[in-house]
Structure 1
């Protein structure tokens, strides 16, 4: 039994056709048949029988298909990581959605690179709707922030990607102390806020986010003004220019000191969740998995909610780039 034979059988089992497997491998169909014949002889099992819909795996074939997928995946991962070991294995390319990059990336990655020897990271803020394709194309090793979604707003789970919860957050409406909205007692209908601009960071209010879905359920369309950062958006709110659906832990101290007032809008605070997303475990690296595990620790959570945002965030063309941690 060889790795090439197992790879061939895994493809036949997954694609349901010797012809399709041959095309995927770039070999002739007789070559695929020869590999399968060798496995059949070695294991003493026909592995599959032909049927009107293609092939049907025997019980032994189903068992082998599971092992073959695991073995081939591990072999590919070993090959990839050996190659990475020669070429800066500790460097991680990270895509982060803008709010996460601004408020949580710096403290989290400072702590991670301090704890993990040899780790270095490069972070770029990317649009949430592009995360899935960027990960699948291997442009980045991991995405932090919004959970990747399928193109066209499809199912939340994207085949080939694994996402784990990263940080729960809440968004609340805030205004300046002199704003008439600050004198309203709750619950306040969201319609009362539609006469004022809503300031946001560069990402706006994503349709795929919890706050975006909340607005969609209410059927309201506010006047949204996007600024270069959520910090700038909060500055506009403090100046009395409008309101903002701000991160609760970011404005907590301001609300306590009454330099900002929370508007008790019905249905708020709006809960949300940030995620750490990677390729599936057979196609990602050990360092990527180390970061994905680290972000779920209590120390990582404490760092992300601590006051003080990301350092080194700057605009590069149409994107934001976070300076290298090492």
Structure 2
């Protein structure tokens, strides 16, 4: 099942690198899983395309829908065994970087305290493309972030849960950058390189070239650099408000900001999702959840942070 799950993600995300990042493993681990599956079936299943990316072989194209169903059935089997053994329900939330950094720690903690059910909740970060694949293939239960186009796709269900506003900030005492925004230095977290994320869409609207973008490990670090006058950073207005009040940062008008940045919850249709997912969706509609999403955050505390550790063993 691990090999099939890996194959499905590589096929959906288009690269070994993207699948490894989503699964939180090394690229060699993904390659080994694919190699074992190829040896089992006696077919390459997926090849590098001449123009970049990956291309399924005829056998791989036939395997993909079957493998997707098997991965989903495996998730059902695990849930059934957990229930029979009296173990807590499992809820896996995957989110855009901004929500994982500022909102999800307090949101999932409040959910655990308020629900009357025993639910083990975990969360992680993924690109918008990976979020959709994870939910579709039952590797995650809920995706929180931008609209994933679920209504247009028809196989997922999305609903808005919070209306935010995207702004641009720079150092409180930094002069306005010269020229159009496409010539400014932009300071972003990984979402700035994700074409489906709010920050990524903003940079695309402003036609910012890759050479003008600096990527930081998280948004707090990008804001720190902006406060020091290193450039301009995208920000969610209500999350950056404390730093504006402390006179560390100031708003900077651009042709693309302020802009709507509504957060959506994307799940499987009714009948295909877990009971824990429905409980979490109900919680997201409550006033308590809205207050938590609207309260400025201060990032993940060290006790909640779980940095990824990748180990590769060489023979």
TM-score by length of 2: 0.65
Q: CA RMSD in A?
A: 2.8
Partner of 2:174: 179
**Matching residue of 1:250:** 239
Cross-structure match for 1:163: 158
Deviation, structure 1 residue 159: 2.9
Q: C-alpha offsets along residues 249-276 of structure 1, whole Å, 9 cap, x if unaligned?
A: 1121222332211112234211111111
Compare relative contact order (CA 8 Å, sep 6+) and give the higher one, 1 or 2: 1
Q: Tell me, in whole angstroms, the C-alpha distance in 2 between the residues paired with 1:218 and 1:127.
A: 21
Contact persistence 1:210–1:270 (CA under 8 A) = no
Q: May I ask how many residue pairs the two structures share in their alignment?
A: 230
The gaps in structure 2 that reach 5 residues or longer are 1-75, 311-315
Contact 1:174–1:263 under 8 Å retained in 2: yes
Match of 2:255 among 258, 266, 277: 266
Contact 1:165 1:296 survives alignment (8 Å): no
Matched, 1:314 2:306: yes
Query: Which of structures 1 and 2 has the bigger CA Rg?
Result: 1
Cα distance between partner residues in 2 of 1:246 and 1:296? 24
Match for residue 134 of structure 2? 134
CA distance in 2 between partners of 1:148 and 1:265 (Å): 25
* Structure 2 residue 184 is matched with structure 1 residue 192: no
User: Residues of 2 paired with 1:258 and 1:271: CA distance?
Assistant: 24
Whether the aligned pair in 2 keeps the contact of 1:211 and 1:271 (CA below 8 Å) is no
The change in CA–CA distance for 1:108 and 1:241 in structure 2 (over 3 A counts) is same
Counterpart residue number, 2:45: none
Secondary structure (helix, strand or coil) at the match of 2:168 reads strand
Deviations 1:97-125 (A, max 9, x none): 21111111011111100101312201121
Q: Structure 1: how far apart are the matches of 2:196 and 2:190? A: 15
For residues 147-184 of structure 1, what are the alpha-carbon distances to aligned partners after superposition, in whole Å with 9 as ceiling and x for unaligned? 335xxxxx7633321111122111111111221118x9
Secondary structure of residue in 1 paired with 2:153: coil
From 276, 279, 298, the counterpart of 1:290: 279
Answering whether residue 147 of structure 2 is matched by residue 147 of structure 1, we say yes
Unaligned stretches of 5+ residues in structure 1? 1-77, 150-154, 185-190, 319-326
Shift of 1:193: 3.2
> Counterpart of 1:121 in 2: which secondary structure?
strand
Partners in 1 of 2:171 and 2:81 — Cα distance? 55
Q: Distance in 2 between matches of 1:259 and 1:216?
A: 27
Superposition TM-score, scaled by structure 1 size: 0.63
